[in-house]
Amino acid sequence: MYDHLLLPTDGSDGMSTVAEHVGSLARQYDATVHALSVVDTRNRFEGPNMGLGTETWEDAERERAERAVGDAADAIPGEVAVERHVESGVPHAELLDYADAADVDLIVMGTHGRTGIDHYLIGSIAERVVRQSPVPVLTVRITEE
């Protein structure tokens, strides 16, 4: 049923919970997990990096993305096949493009469950992916604890 599972990660605390879910599914279905993080390349004056130089921002984002993918992949049980990927672009769009290109069967991603002003200001990559994904999406709530 599931041969390729996509695990998007931004390196947030709590990703080990998401990795636990995707690892369990991967073991059950003998699936490959694709750990993916996106280097956010949006205009620095439109994104969360306001005020930083473009090159500085993208270098920091790439380091964060590589660390996030490594941490997520390391949290997956050893017997599960894991591919590590870092892409660049607008996060939700890159996740959806990757899912299509890699023939992903299921996306398993964390969500912070922000509401109110935080949701309005920060937005929700998970929400955009859920609304636009051509494949099922399993969201796992990431808490502050």
Q: Give me the domains of the chain, ranges plus CATH numbers.
A: 4-122 (3.40.50.620)
State the pLDDT at residue 114.
Answer: 55
Q: In sequence order, which residues have a C-beta less than 8 Å from that of residue 77 and are 6 or more positions away?
A: 23, 26, 27
Position 130 pLDDT exceeds 60: yes
Question: Across the chain, where does the E strand assignment appear?
Answer: 4-8, 32-40, 82-89, 106-111, 137-141
Q: What is the pLDDT of residues 42-91, one digit of tens each?
A: 755 555 555 556 778 788 889 999 999 999 999 998 899 999 999 999 99
DSSP three-state, residue 88? strand
DSSP three-state, residue 82? strand
State the pLDDT at residue 79.
Answer: 93
Q: Specify the pTM.
A: 0.86
State the pLDDT at residue 142.
Answer: 82
Q: How many CB atoms lie within 10 A of CB 144?
A: 6
State the pLDDT at residue 120.
Answer: 43
State the pLDDT at residue 113.
Answer: 59
Position 123 pLDDT exceeds 60: no
